[in-house]
Amino acid sequence: MKKLFALVLALALALSVAACSGGASTTPAPSAKPSAAPSAAPQKLIKVGFAQVGHESDWRTASTKSVQAALSKEKGFDLRFVDCDNNSAKQLEAVRSFIQQQVDYIVIAPIVSTGWDTVLTEAQSAKIPVIVLDRTIDDSTKYVTWIGSEFTNEGLAAGAWLKDYAKAKNIKDLNILVIKGTTGSSAEIGRTKGFEKIAKENGWKILDQQDGNFTQDGGQKVMESYLKSYKDKFNVVVCQNDNEAFGAQDAMKAAGVTYGVNGKVILISFDACKAALKQVLEGKINADFQCNPLQGEFLADAIKKLAAGEKVPAKTYMKEPWYVAEDILKSITYTNNAGQTVTEPLIKVTQAIADAAY
Ligand code: GYE
């Protein structure tokens, strides 16, 4: 009986190895010489070209590391990584070079959400499936799947938190400065849309919204200019990522403006990387809405499924918690981007949470 079970298992394994190695769209089927035992044949690596946005933030570094770890040689991948340095022309060029290299799959983390249809048509003609990671592509549907975050919900959640927080602290007037992420990126578009909706509903004043390009330097420069134009006129700063928040803090510190739990300015951020959660713990950022960059395993899983001829979902959303510095609110309730009323917990950051963050 045991022997029979082992035999069935061995057969199943041999079959699944054969299915995997022959499944990728541009990989030729292995020649079926009777003498070559399947286990002795060297594993064919799946060639994946990854056009990454750049290296602008802690989030991005974590994203790159996550993909590199999940798509390693040991795990069966030949990963060709291009850092596109936040340059859209360079990103299109990277995708075209992957088409020329005849990779099996192309992964794009699109810098901006438009301008994609032509190159995706080229990939389609070359029969190379495209997977979109992180930000979305909004002017083409020529890709097989997308893995990323619901950016509009992140913005809505930030607004819902600010509404309840201001009420709990009896703050009547909200005068808000927003440091946006890269203009035209879906992360910027979604966070802006979500937050603006709540601001409008509550009659808050958004004094200004300028692009800090998701970098610390960008955040600092925008904040320096805000401090000149809006000195003493604002009590909320919303940074669309943590690195911008670090830059904004430097500018406020230099100008003698206090922020965070014991400061004059409520500071809100997105991403929730380790360095930022330490600041939430210390009360230097009031609330941080996580965007989860650890997408590598989901990506590897999707590619393996496609290579095996299996179906993958059109969209995969990352799970993302909301972090706060104080204990006064336990949850927020808001209408999400799908029109559902949701109640989500607010997590007060502890040392253990900050230590475990990406
Ligand atoms: O929030 C920011 C990064 O696209 C979700 O890009 C990503 C954003 C992230 O630079 O830190």
Three-state SS string across the chain, please? CHHHHHHHHHHHHHHHHHHHHHHCCCCCCCCCCCCCCHHHCCCCCEEEEEEECCCCCHHHHHHHHHHHHHCCCCCCEEEEEEECCCCHHHHHHHHHHHHHCCCCEEEECCCCCCCCHHHHHHHHHCCCCEEEECCCCCCCCCCCEEEECCHHHHHHHHHHHHHHHHHHCCCCCCEEEEEECCCCCHHHHHHHHHHHHHHHHHCCEEEEEEECCCCHHHHHHHHHHHHHHCCCCCCEEEECCHHHHHHHHHHHHHCCCCECCCCCEEEEEEECCHHHHHHHHCCCCCEEEECCCCCHHHHHHHHHHHHCCCCCCCEEECCCCEEECCCCCCEEEEECCCCCEEEEEEEECCHHHHHHCC
Residues of the chain with CATH 3.40.50.2300: 46-149+294-317, 151-291+327-356
pLDDT of 332 > 90? The answer is: yes
263: number of Cβ within 10 Å: 16
Query: Ligand 1 centre from 290 Cα, in Å?
Result: 10
Pocket test for ligand 1, best of 60, 146, 149 (most atoms within 8 A of CB): 60
Spelled out in words, what is the top-level CATH class assigned to the domain 151-291+327-356? Answer: alpha beta
The ligand 1 atom nearest the CA atom of 135: 4
- Quote the pLDDT of residue 43: 77
Distance CA 166, CA 14 (A): 62
- Rounded Cα gap, residues 119 and 100, in angstroms: 12
Q: What is the CATH number of domain 46-149+294-317?
A: 3.40.50.2300
pLDDT in tens, 25-50: 223 333 333 344 445 556 799 999 99
Å from CA of 183 to ligand 1 middle: 12
Percent with pLDDT over 90 in the chain = 88
Place of tokens 């040689």: 73
Q: Which residue has the higher pLDDT, 48 or 7?
A: 48
pLDDT over 70 at 272, yes or no: yes
The residues lining ligand 1, judged by C-beta closer than 6 Å to any ligand atom, are 56-57, 59-60, 134-135, 149, 187, 214, 241, 270-271, 291
- State pLDDT tens for residues 95-122: 999 999 999 999 999 999 999 999 999 9
The answer to whether residue 10 scores a pLDDT higher than 60 is: no
Q: pLDDT tens digits, residue range 224-246?
A: 999 999 999 999 999 999 999 99
Task: Find, among 172, 351, 346, 185, the residue nearest to 268 by Cα.
Answer: 346
Please state the rounded mean pLDDT for residues 246-251: 99
What's the N-to-C CA distance of the chain in angstroms? 48
Side-chain-side CA neighbours of residue 257 (13 Å): 23
Atom number in ligand 1 closest to CA 293: 5
Atom 8 (ligand 1): residue with closest C-alpha?
Answer: 187
Q: Which of 55, 87, 132, 134 to mutate to test the pocket of ligand 1 (most atoms within 8 A of CB)?
A: 134
CA–centroid distance, residue 163 to ligand 1 (Å): 24
Instruction: Compute the distance from residue 162 Cα to the ligand 1 centre, in Å.
Output: 21
**Whose alpha carbon is nearest atom 5 of ligand 1?**
187
Contact 224, 251 (CB under 8 A): yes
Q: Ligand 1 centroid to 292 CA: how many Å?
A: 9
Task: Measure 214 CA to ligand 1 centroid, in angstroms.
Answer: 7
Residue 236 confidence (pLDDT): 99
Task: Compute, in angstroms, the gap from residue 187 CA to the centroid of ligand 1.
Answer: 7
How many Å apart are CA 69 and CA 76, to the nearest integer? 11
Instruction: Give the number of the atom of ligand 1 that is nearest the alpha carbon of residue 243.
Output: 11
Confidence (pLDDT) at 249: 99
Gyration radius (Cα) of the chain, Å: 23
